[in-house]
Amino acid sequence: MAPLDGILILDLTHVLAGPFCTQSLQDLGAKVIKVERPGTGDDTRAFPPFLAGESAYFATLNAGKQSIALDLKAAEDRAIFERLVARADVLVENYRPGVMARLGFGWEVLHARHPRLVYAAVSGFGQTGPDAEKPAYDMVVQARGGVMSITGESGGPPVRVGASIGDIVAGMYLAQGVLAALYQREKTGEGAFIDVAMLDAQLAIQEHALAIASATGVAPGPTGARHPTITPFATFRAADGFVVIAAGNDAMFGRLCAVLGLEIAADPRFATNAARCENHALLKRLIETVTLGHSVAHWLAVLDAAGLPTARVQDMIEVLADPQLRARNMVLPVTPQPGGPAFTAPGNPIKMSTLPEPSSLPPAPRLDGDRAAILAWLDDPSRGP
């Protein structure tokens, strides 16, 4: 039995933060019913890239969920939604603060009717504060939360992190909150309201930048691929590409010097991490005078043999073929809908002894494609949603 087997989640979210959260919970065994806008559904149904007219973006974030399209302003659909809420363990939404309350389905109303319901809300700036009602996307919170100020090359313009961490990290925190609330409910019998802001989550993940700014009073800037406080901990040029070398302490630095043939481990300019950070540009030049002489494959073999953390800088095609990720069941086919295209999605990174590992993922739902099954279940719960 999966850990969340028997947990029913109503997913009123769209785009990324909310769907990422509910997909994670579904990977742990929850049943997710996606409540979508009639006609258009989740915005990501229209996001490229497309295969046979269907969005790969949507498919990878909603595999295995069910879909029902409801207009929460229409009496008939509101009645269906109320029946769904009565059966649900968790409701997840990412409307702007106040929208659900204006529809008559805010936390206070639903908590009074359904005390065991866990209500989880994710938004750009949270449910409180002067900017609570402002709209936000990933790039907005990456900018305002400081992430863009430390990303990119020194002296260059601000750079957005390539993955949508503004959304994804918020979705991860939201999933944590849901799990904590479900555990608390087992002890108290009562649900909770969870309020996660994308902006809050951006601050929470910046361990070094926050420490540097608070301790020194100076805002850290971008350092490219180099770690801001550990050296050498960066990318280095080889004859045919880049290799990551992460020598995280003095002992590792000594081993690195030995395999590179550099007699500088005791040099006062490099003998300590503080000295190496101060002289990082010179150290990089010295290391690259050696690494440029051989291929990435050569240095991976040499550094691995010395027990030094290293990696090739891979593109996504290489990542999808990575034997370690394949061995961990992290690249999975999404079973297509009848007549639909086949997609690829990430597997579940949470490996548990009680959680079976699938060989494929179920298909993403057609918009409103599960209406008949969901309505039949509401009439006869024994049939299952």
As annotated, the active-site residues are 227
DSSP code of 123? Answer: E
Nearest in space to 165 (alpha carbons), one of 126, 206, 195, 135: 206
Q: Rounded CA gap, 314 and 320, in Å?
A: 10
- Contact 175/92 with Cβ under 8 angstroms? no
User: Residue 97: is it exposed, middle or buried by C-beta count within 10 angstroms (0-12/13-18/19+)?
Assistant: buried
What string of H, E and C letters represents the secondary structure of 132-171?
CCCCCCHHHHHHHCCHHHHCCCCCCCCCCCCCCHHHHHHH
Residue type, 79: A
- Contact 220/209 with Cβ under 8 angstroms? yes
Q: Which residue has the tokens 């949603």?
A: 385
- Contact 196/120 with Cβ under 8 angstroms? yes
Q: Which residues, in sequence order, are bridge partners of residue 9?
A: 32, 90
